[in-house]
C-alpha cells in the first residue's frame, strides 16, 4: 500500500494534476476566510464593473490632501480626457493650416497640444472648412484651455433648507493618499451583471461545483460498482436483468434524461444537492459496464474458486477477493465521474436547468448569467472567462490524475 | 529459501502403486453432463461420463485442451452445477443444494490449481491463508499458540519455515514455494478428496519432483483420494494408480495406469501415446496425416 | 569437416529494467553449428534461452541491449548491426525466426500468398508476381502443404496448419539458420508432430542449412535435434549430443533436468526424479561464483566464489563445473545404488 502510494507520487502526471487540484481546493477553502460574507451579495448597482481598485469619490473629497506639483500631471489628465476622435480632428485641422502630416503624432499628447497652441487661430478660416466645423474647433479649444488652466473645482453640499455651502475646493494639484481614503475596494475580477464580486462568487461557485461533482461521482460510482459487482460475479439471470437496465440507460442519451428529470423536479426543489443526485443517477452506466467486465475476468481466477471452496459467502468474496483487485480501477473511474459530474452541471446550468438561483452560485450558473446578460458581446470577459478557466482547470487536473494513476496501475501503457 | 534437509533426500521415486481395488468408493458419477449455452450455440463440454474413484486412489484424468477436463473438475468440486447425471460421495448421492450443505461438502474436497500466482489473494498474508484453513476445520477458538503450532507443522511438512513466512505475502515466494504452501493448506484441511488441476505444469522441471513427492506423502499420510488432472500423459503414467483418458467430453478409456498406457485399446489413446515424443522407443513421425 | 554456419563468440546481452537495473540475461555464450546440424537449447523458464535467440539475430530492441561478443552467420557478423539493417538484410535470407505465437502474428485480413510476396520483395523488390507465385507453389508442394492455403486467410486454417504455413512463409528464401522458439508448445500433440516432421523435412531437403530449436520439453528436443545445450541463469552449463545429454548428463543441473523426463513408455515408472532445492538466482545480482553453486549438492566451498569457464571434457562435449566428470559419475553411480 505504502509502496503503491509512493509509486503514484512518482508519476509526474499525477503529481501535476494533484498540485493543480489542491491549489484550487485551497483557493476555494481559504478565499472565503479572507473575504467573508455572502458571495451573492449585490455590492454594485450597475452591471459589469471592470476589474480594478475602486476608491470612494465622496471620501476622497474630504480626505486630507497634499499639494504635489508633478510636471506631467496636466498632460496626463488631458491625455486621459482627450478622446481618440478629438485627436484625429485636431490632426485634421493642423494639416489644413499647413503643418506637414509627418510632424503630427496623435499618440503623443504633449507634442500635439504644443502644435495646437502654436497653430490654432480662432479667426483663421482654412479653405473649405464650414462654419459648423469652425465652431466645433472653437469649443474644443475652449475645453482644452479650461483643462490646462488649472482652475479649481468647488464641492458644494446641499443643506436641509436647500442652501448650498462649499465644503471643499479642489485644486488641480491636490492629491489624496489612497490609504487615507477610508472606503476603497479592489475587485480583481470586477462585478457581474447583478453587481456581485466575481472573484468571491467564483470561489464559492467552484466549491459548490466540486461538491456537486463529488456527490454525483460518489452516487454514480456506488451504483455502478454495486450493479457491476453483482452482475459480473453472479452472471446468468441476474446479469441479464442488470445489463438490460444498463443498456436501456445507455441508449437513452443521458443528457436528455438529465434535462427531463431536472425539468420535472421543478424550480423549487432543484437545489445543488438534487441536481448532483440527478447527475449521479444518470451517469452510472459505464461504471457498471467496466466494473462488470473486470469482475468477469476475475470471477474464474483460482483465488476466487479457492475462497468459495473455503466456504466464504458472496458478500465476503466480493469484498475481499474481488473488490481489492479492482479498487485502483474504481478509484480511476470515480475521478472521471467527478470530472464529468462537474461538466454535466455546467452544461445543465448553461441551459438554465441548474440549481435554484438564489442560494448558491455554481460554475454553470455563473456562465448562464454571463450569457443571459450578453457578457460575451459587450466585452465583459471577466464575467465568464475566469469561470471557463476554472472548469477547465478542475477537469484537467482530475483527468491528469487519472492518467497518472492509469500509468501506475497498468504498466503496459507506460512509454 | 534456505537449503534445508531437501539436500539429503536427493532422488525421489514416486511409483507407489498399491492395491486399492478393495477400497470403498469415494466419489463416483453416472451420466455426468454439462452443457453450456442454449439453442444453436449449445456446446456439450462434458458428455455423460461415468467414473468410480476409490478411497486412497490416485486417479489421473488425461486430456488435451478443450477435452472438458477442467469443466469436469469444476463439477466435481461443486463450483459448477451439472446439467445431467448424478454424483455420489461416499455411497450417498451428493447433495449441495444449500450453502450449508456446500460448506459441508467442501470440508471433504479441496483443490490445488494450475497457476500458483493466481491461486492466492495478493492482499492476504500467508498467515491469513493458513488461519482460514484452521478456522474451516473448526479451530476458530483454539489458543494462539496452538494455531501457530499447527501452521508451523503444516509448513514444515512442505519443507517451508513458518517463521520465515509469517507476515509475508504470497507473491514474495517463488512459484514452487507457493505451490508447496498450497499443499500445506491441504495438510491443514485434511480433506477426503484432493483435486489437483495441473499442479506442476507451471513449475520448473527441477521443482516438480519436490511438489509431487509432497503431494504423495500427503496422500499416504491422510489417506485421501487424489484426482490429478493433466495433459501430460507421461506424468500421469508415472504417478497414478488409475488413468482416465478424456476426449471431447467423454472418457474413451480407463483402467490401471499400466493397462492404459502400455496396452491402450481406444484409438484415441493409441494415437495420443504414439504422438507423444519418447526417449527409448522410436518416435515414428510417419504415422500422422496432414 | 563441415562448414560452420553459425558461430557465436562470448555473446553478452542485457535487459535494462524500468528502474535502470541491468539484468544479464545472456552471459558470455559461445556456440557453433555446422551445416546440416541442429542444436537444441533447454532450460527452465527465465534462463535466457529466448533472449539468446533474439540476441543471435542481432535484433535488439529496448529493453534488450547488446553488450559484447559476436554472432556470425556464414561470415556475416550480426552483432552491432542496426535493427533496421537486420530486418532488411538478415531476417528471412540469413536467419528466420519462429516465436511460439508466430501463428497468431498473421494479419487476419490478408491472404497467405501476400505474406510470401512481402518476404520475397523485402529482399528482391523486382521479383514479378507470377515468379513469386510459382516459387511459393513449388515450396508448398515440396513441404506437402495444400496449395489452396496460399489463397486463404489465416483464420481459415487450423492451429497446426497455421504454424506450418508460417514456418513455410518465413523460410521461403531458404535461410541459413532457422531459430524456432517453442514452435509447437501451443499445439496439441498431433499437430506438434506434424510441425516437427516438416522441420525435419526442411533440414533434409536443405531449405534450411541449420536449426536452433528452443523448448523446455526435453523428450521433444531429444527427438528433433542433433545436439543439446543446457542453459542455466544466462550461461551454458553443458553441451553434448542429444543422446549423450539425455542418457549421460554430467552437470548436476542437466542431470536433474534430464531425470525429470517422464514419457508414456515401459520403464518410466522406475524413474527416480531428482529434487533440486531452491530457485534460480536473480540475474540482477547473480552469484559471484558458479551460478548453480547455491543449489548444488556437490558444490565445494570455493564454488561460491570462483566462476568457472566452459571447457571441453570429451569430443563434442563441454561443461561448466569445478569437478571432474569422472568424479561426479562415480558419485552418481553410488547414489543410484
The whole model's pTM is what?
0.80
Question: Looking at the domain that runs over A2-44+192-413, which CATH code has it been given?
Answer: 1.10.3720.10
Residue B109 is predicted with a pLDDT of 93
Domain ranges of chain A: 2-44+192-413, 52-68+152-187, 73-149
Residue in C145, C263, C336 to test binding to B, most B beta-carbons within 10 Å:
C263
Say whether pLDDT at A17 is over 80. Answer: yes
SS3 sequence, chain B?
CCCCHHHCCCEEECCCCCCCCCCCEEEEEEEEEEEECCHHHCEEEEEEEEEEEECCCEEEEEECCCCCHHHHHHHHHCCCCCCEEEEEECCEECCCCCHHHHHHHHCCEEEECCCHHHHCCCCCCHHHHHHHHHHHCCCCCCCHHHHHHHHHHHHHHCCCCHHHHCCCCHHHCCHHHHHHHHHHHHHHHCCCEEEEECCCCCCCHHHHHHHHHHHHHHHHHHCCEEEEEECCHHHHHHHCCEEEEEECCEEEEEEEHHHHHHCCCCHHHHHHHHHCCCCCCCCCHHHCCC
Kindly report, residue by residue over A161-215, the tens digit of the pLDDT: 777 777 778 877 888 888 888 888 888 888 888 888 889 999 999 999 999 999 9
Of B111, B115, B123, the CB nearest to A309: B111
Contacts of C266 in chain B (CB under 8 A): 262, 280
Residues 6+ apart with CB under 8 A from C14: C22, C23, C24, C25, C26, C64, C65, C67
Tell me the shortest Cα–Cα distance from A389 to chain B, in angstroms.
41
Residue entry with cell 449585490: A42
Contact flag C197-B213 (C-beta cutoff 8 Å): no
- Chain B within 8 Å of A4 (Cβ-Cβ)? no
Tell me the shortest Cα–Cα distance from C77 to chain B, in angstroms.
35
- Chain C within 8 Å of B5 (Cβ-Cβ)? no
Say whether pLDDT at A7 is over 50. Answer: yes
Say whether pLDDT at B223 is over 90. Answer: no
Contact flag C193-B285 (C-beta cutoff 8 Å): yes
Residue in C48, C232, C277 to test binding to B, most B beta-carbons within 10 Å:
C277
- Chain B within 8 Å of A324 (Cβ-Cβ)? yes
Say whether pLDDT at B4 is over 50. Answer: no
- Chain A within 8 Å of B121 (Cβ-Cβ)? yes
Contacts of B273 in chain C (CB under 8 A): 264
Residue C212 is predicted with a pLDDT of 95
Residue A411 is predicted with a pLDDT of 64
Say whether pLDDT at B26 is over 60. Answer: yes
The whole-angstrom separation of Cα C109 and Cα C88 is 24
Contacts of C268 in chain B (CB under 8 A): 234, 237-238
Say whether pLDDT at B6 is over 50. Answer: no
All 3 cell numbers of residue C229?
545445450
Tell me the shortest Cα–Cα distance from B106 to chain A, in angstroms.
6
CATH number at residue C211: 3.40.50.300
All 3 cell numbers of residue C203?
533440414
Tell me the shortest Cα–Cα distance from B160 to chain C, in angstroms.
11
Contacts of A301 in chain B (CB under 8 A): 118
Of C220, C256, C294, the CB nearest to B277: C220
Percent above pLDDT 90 for chain B: 49
Kindly report, residue by residue over A364-379, the tens digit of the pLDDT: 989 988 888 888 888 8
Residue in A4, A234, A309 to test binding to B, most B beta-carbons within 10 Å:
A309
Say whether pLDDT at B9 is over 60. Answer: no
Residue A406 is predicted with a pLDDT of 85
Task: Taking residues A146-175, report their average pLDDT.
Answer: 74
The whole-angstrom separation of Cα A367 and Cα A364 is 5
Domain count, chain C: 1
Residue B265 is predicted with a pLDDT of 93
Of B102, B119, B136, the CB nearest to A302: B119
Residue A205 is predicted with a pLDDT of 92
- Chain A within 8 Å of B82 (Cβ-Cβ)? no
Residue B205 is predicted with a pLDDT of 82
Contact flag B290-C194 (C-beta cutoff 8 Å): yes
Residue B5 pLDDT grade (very low, low, confident, very high; cuts 50, 70, 90): very low
Contact flag A306-B114 (C-beta cutoff 8 Å): no
Task: Taking residues B78-103, report their average pLDDT.
Answer: 90
Contacts of A409 in chain B (CB under 8 A): none
Which chain B residue is nearest to residue C192, measuring alpha carbons? B275
Residue B3 is predicted with a pLDDT of 38
Say whether pLDDT at B1 is over 50. Answer: no
Contact flag B1-C277 (C-beta cutoff 8 Å): yes
- Chain B within 8 Å of A306 (Cβ-Cβ)? yes
Which carries the bigger pLDDT value, residue B7 or residue C50? C50
- Chain C within 8 Å of B215 (Cβ-Cβ)? no
Domain count, chain B: 1
Contact flag A305-B113 (C-beta cutoff 8 Å): yes
Kindly report, residue by residue over A264-293, the tens digit of the pLDDT: 877 777 888 888 888 898 889 989 999 999
Contact flag B120-A324 (C-beta cutoff 8 Å): no
Task: Taking residues A347-355, report their average pLDDT.
Answer: 83
Tell me the shortest Cα–Cα distance from B172 to chain C, in angstroms.
13
Residue C219 pLDDT grade (very low, low, confident, very high; cuts 50, 70, 90): very high
Among residues B104, B157, B112, B150, the alpha carbon closest in space to that of B131 is found at: B150
Which carries the bigger pLDDT value, residue A125 or residue B219? B219
Contact flag A306-B113 (C-beta cutoff 8 Å): yes
- When mean pLDDT is compared over A13-27, A166-180, C154-168, the highest value belongs to A13-27
The domain containing residue C198 runs over which residues?
4-336
Kindly report, residue by residue over A38-96, the tens digit of the pLDDT: 888 888 887 888 888 888 888 888 888 888 888 777 777 777 777 777 888 888 888 88
Is the complex ipTM higher than 0.90? no
User: Is residue B282 one of the residues assigned to a domain?
Assistant: yes
Task: Taking residues C102-113, report their average pLDDT.
Answer: 87
User: Is residue B198 one of the residues assigned to a domain?
Assistant: yes
Percent above pLDDT 70 for chain B: 95
Which chain B residue is nearest to residue A312, measuring alpha carbons? B103
Of B74, B106, B123, the CB nearest to A324: B123
Kindly report, residue by residue over C257-315, the tens digit of the pLDDT: 998 889 998 888 888 888 888 888 888 888 888 999 988 889 999 999 988 899 999 89
Contacts of A308 in chain B (CB under 8 A): 79, 106
Q: What does the mean pLDDT of chain C come to?
A: 89
Task: Taking residues B132-160, report their average pLDDT.
Answer: 89
Contacts of B213 in chain C (CB under 8 A): 273, 275
C141 to each of A354, B290, C138, C209, C211, how far by Cα in Å? 74, 13, 5, 19, 22
- Chain B within 8 Å of A308 (Cβ-Cβ)? yes
Residue B7 is predicted with a pLDDT of 43
Which chain A residue is nearest to residue B76, measuring alpha carbons? A309
Contact flag A305-B77 (C-beta cutoff 8 Å): yes
Residue B290 is predicted with a pLDDT of 56
Contact flag B121-A324 (C-beta cutoff 8 Å): yes
Q: What does the mean pLDDT of chain A come to?
A: 85
Q: What does the mean pLDDT of chain B come to?
A: 87
Contact flag B237-C220 (C-beta cutoff 8 Å): no
Residue A1 is predicted with a pLDDT of 67
- Chain C within 8 Å of B100 (Cβ-Cβ)? no
Residue A413 is predicted with a pLDDT of 53
Of C218, C274, C294, the CB nearest to B11: C274
Residue in C264, C296, C304, C334 to test binding to B, most B beta-carbons within 10 Å:
C264
Task: Taking residues C121-149, report their average pLDDT.
Answer: 89
Residue A65 is predicted with a pLDDT of 83
- Chain C within 8 Å of B272 (Cβ-Cβ)? yes
The answer to whether the beta carbons of residues A180 and A64 sit under 8 Å apart is yes
Tell me the shortest Cα–Cα distance from B193 to chain C, in angstroms.
24
The whole-angstrom separation of Cα B290 and Cα C113 is 20
The domain containing residue B69 runs over which residues?
23-287
- Which chains sit next to A, with 3 or more Cβ pairs under 8 A? B
Amino acid at each position: 500500500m505504502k509502496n503503491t502510494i509512493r509509486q503514484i507520487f512518482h508519476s509526474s502526471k499525477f503529481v501535476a494534476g494533484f498540485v493543480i487540484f489542491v491549489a484550487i481546493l485551497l483557493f476555494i477553502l481559504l478565499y472565503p476566510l479572507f473575504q467573508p460574507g455572502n458571495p451573492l451579495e449585490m455590492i454594485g448597482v450597475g452591471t459589469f464593473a471592470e476589474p480594478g481598485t475602486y476608491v470612494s469619490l465622496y471620501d476622497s473629497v474630504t480626505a486630507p490632501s497634499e499639494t504635489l506639483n508633478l510636471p506631467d500631471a496636466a498632460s496626463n489628465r488631458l491625455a486621459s480626457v482627450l478622446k481618440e476622435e478629438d485627436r484625429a480632428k485636431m490632426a485634421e485641422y493642423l494639416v489644413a493650416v499647413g503643418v506637414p502630416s509627418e510632424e503630427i503624432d496623435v499618440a503623443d499628447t504633449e507634442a500635439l497640444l504644443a502644435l495646437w497652441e502654436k497653430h490654432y487661430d480662432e479667426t483663421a478660416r482654412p479653405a473649405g472648412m464650414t462654419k459648423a466645423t469652425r465652431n466645433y474647433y472653437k469649443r474644443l479649444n475652449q475645453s482644452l484651455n479650461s483643462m490646462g488652466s488649472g482652475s479649481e473645482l468647488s464641492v458644494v453640499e446641499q443643506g436641509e433648507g436647500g442652501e448650498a455651502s462649499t465644503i471643499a475646493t479642489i485644486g488641480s494639484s491636490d492629491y489624496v493618499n489612497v490609504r487615507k481614503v477610508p472606503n476603497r475596494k479592489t475587485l480583481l475580477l470586477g462585478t457581474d451583471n447583478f453587481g456581485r464580486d466575481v472573484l468571491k462568487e467564483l470561489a464559492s461557485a467552484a466549491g459548490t461545483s466540486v461538491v456537486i461533482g463529488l456527490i454525483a461521482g460518489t452516487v454514480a460510482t456506488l451504483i455502478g460498482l454495486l450493479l457491476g459487482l453483482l452482475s459480473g460475479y453472479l452472471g446468468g439471470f441476474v446479469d441479464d436483468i442488470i445489463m438490460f437496465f444498463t443498456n436501456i440507460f445507455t441508449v437513452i442519451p443521458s443528457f436528455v434524461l438529465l434535462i427531463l428529470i431536472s425539468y420535472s423536479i421543478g424550480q423549487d426543489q432543484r437545489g445543488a444537492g438534487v441536481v448532483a443526485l440527478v447527475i449521479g443517477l444518470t451517469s452510472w452506466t459505464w461504471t457498471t459496464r467496466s466494473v462488470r467486465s473486470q469482475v468477469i475476468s476475475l470471477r474464474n481466477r483460482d483465488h476466487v474458486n479457492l475462497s468459495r471452496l473455503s466456504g466464504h459467502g458472496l458478500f465476503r468474496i466480493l469484498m475481499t477477493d474481488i473488490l481489492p483487485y479492482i479498487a485502483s480501477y474504481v478509484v480511476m473511474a470515480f475521478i472521471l465521474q467527478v470530472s464529468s459530474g462537474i461538466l454535466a452541471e455546467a452544461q445543465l446550468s448553461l441551459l438554465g436547468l441548474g440549481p435554484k438561483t438564489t442560494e448558491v452560485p455554481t460554475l454553470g450558473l455563473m456562465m448562464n448569467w454571463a450569457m443571459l446578460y450578453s457578457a460575451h458581446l459587450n466585452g465583459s470577459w471577466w464575467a465568464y472567462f475566469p469561470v471557463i478557466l476554472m472548469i477547465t482547470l478542475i477537469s484537467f487536473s482530475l483527468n491528469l490524475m487519472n492518467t497518472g494513476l492509469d500509468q501506475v496501475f497498468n504498466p503496459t501503457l507506460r512509454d | 529459501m534456505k537449503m534445508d534437509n531437501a539436500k539429503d533426500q536427493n532422488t525421489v521415486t514416486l511409483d507407489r502403486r498399491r492395491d486399492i481395488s478393495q477400497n470403498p468408493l469415494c466419489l463416483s458419477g453416472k451420466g455426468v453432463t454439462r452443457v453450456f449455452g442454449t439453442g444453436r450455440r449449445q456446446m456439450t463440454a462434458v458428455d455423460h461420463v461415468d467414473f468410480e474413484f476409490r478411497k486412497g486412489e490416485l486417479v489421473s484424468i488425461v486430456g488435451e485442451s478443450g477435452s472438458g477436463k477442467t469443466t469436469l473438475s469444476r463439477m466435481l468440486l461443486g463450483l459448477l452445477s451439472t446439467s445431467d447425471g448424478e454424483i455420489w460421495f461416499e455411497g450417498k448421492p451428493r447433495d449441495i443444494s444449500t450453502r450449508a450443505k456446500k460448506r459441508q461438502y467442501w470440508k471433504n474436497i479441496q483443490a490445488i490449481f494450475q497457476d500458483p500466482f493466481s491461486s492466492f489473494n495478493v492482499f492476504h498474508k500467508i498467515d491469513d491463508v493458513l488461519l482460514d484453513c484452521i478456522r474451516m476445520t473448526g479451530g476458530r477458538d483454539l489458543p494462539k499458540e496452538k494455531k501457530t503450532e499447527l501452521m508451523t507443522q503444516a509448513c514444515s511438512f512442505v519443507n517451508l519455515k513458518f517463521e520465515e513466512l509469517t507476515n509475508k505475502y504470497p507473491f514474495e515466494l517463488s512459484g514452487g514455494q507457493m505451490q508447496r504452501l498450497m499443499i500445506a493448506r491441504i495438510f491443514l484441511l485434511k480433506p477426503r478428496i484432493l483435486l489437483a488441476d495441473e499442479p506442476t505444469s507451471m513449475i520448473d522441471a527441477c521443482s516438480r519432483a519436490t511438489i509431487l513427492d509432497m503431494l504423495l506423502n500427503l496422500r499416504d499420510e491422510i489417506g485421501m483420494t487424489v484426482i490429478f488432472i493433466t495433459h501430460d500423459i507421461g506424468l500421469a503414467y508415472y504417478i497414478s494408480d488409475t488413468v482416465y483418458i478424456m476426449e471431447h467430453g467423454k472418457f474413451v478409456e480407463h483402467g490401471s495406469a499400466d493397462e492404459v498406457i502400455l496396452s491402450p485399446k481406444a484409438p484415441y489413446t493409441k494415437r495420443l501415446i504414439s504422438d507423444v515424443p519418447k526417449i527409448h522407443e522410436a518416435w515414428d513421425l510417419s504415422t500422422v496425416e496432414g | 569437416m563441415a562448414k560452420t554456419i553459425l558461430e557465436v563468440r562470448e555473446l553478452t546481452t542485457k535487459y535494462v529494467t524500468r528502474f535502470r537495473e541491468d539484468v544479464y540475461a545472456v552471459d558470455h555464450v559461445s556456440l557453433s553449428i555446422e551445416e546440416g546440424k541442429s542444436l537444441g537449447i533447454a532450460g527452465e523458464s527465465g534462463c535466457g534461452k529466448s533472449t539468446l535467440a533474439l540476441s543471435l539475430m542481432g535484433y535488439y530492441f529496448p529493453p534488450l541491449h547488446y553488450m559484447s561478443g559476436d554472432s556470425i552467420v556464414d561470415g556475416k557478423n550480426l552483432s552491432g548491426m542496426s535493427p533496421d539493417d537486420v530486418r532488411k538484410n538478415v531476417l528471412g535470407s540469413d536467419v528466420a525466426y519462429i516465436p511460439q505465437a508466430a501463428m497468431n502474428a498473421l494479419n487476419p485480413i490478408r491472404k497467405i500468398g501476400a505474406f510470401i510476396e512481402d518476404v520475397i520483395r523485402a529482399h528482391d523488390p523486382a521479383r514479378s508476381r507470377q515468379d513469386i507465385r510459382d516459387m511459393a507453389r513449388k515450396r508448398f508442394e515440396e513441404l506437402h502443404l495444400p496449395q489452396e492455403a496460399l489463397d486463404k486467410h489465416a483464420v481459415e486454417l487450423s492451429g497446426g496448419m497455421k504454424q506450418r504455413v508460417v514456418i513455410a512463409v518465413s523460410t521461403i528464401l531458404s535461410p541459413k539458420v532457422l531459430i524456432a522458439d517453442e514452435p509447437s508448445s501451443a499445439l496439441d500433440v498431433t499437430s506438434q508432430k506434424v510441425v516437427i516432421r516438416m522441420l525435419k523435412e526442411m533440414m533434409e531437403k536443405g531449405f534450411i542449412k541449420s536449426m536452433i530449436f528452443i523448448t523446455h520439453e526435453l523428450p521433444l528436443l531429444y527427438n528433433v535435434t542433433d545436439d543439446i545445450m543446457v542453459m542455466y541463469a544466462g550461461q551454458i552449463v553443458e553441451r553434448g549430443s542429444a543422446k549423450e545429454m539425455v542418457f549421460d548428463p554430467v552437470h548436476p543441473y542437466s542431470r536433474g533436468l534430464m531425470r525429470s523426463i517422464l514419457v508414456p513408455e515401459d520403464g518410466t515408472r522406475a524413474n527416480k526424479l531428482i529434487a533440486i532445492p531452491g530457485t534460480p538466482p536473480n540475474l540482477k545480482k547473480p552469484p559471484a561464483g558458479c551460478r548453480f553453486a547455491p543449489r548444488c549438492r556437490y558444490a565445494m566451498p570455493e564454488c561460491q566464489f570462483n566462476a568457472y569457464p566452459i571447457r571441453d571434457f570429451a569430443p563434442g562435449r563441454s561443461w561448466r563445473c569445478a569437478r571432474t566428470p569422472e568424479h561426479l559419475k562415480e558419485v552418481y553411480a553410488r547414489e543410484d545404488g
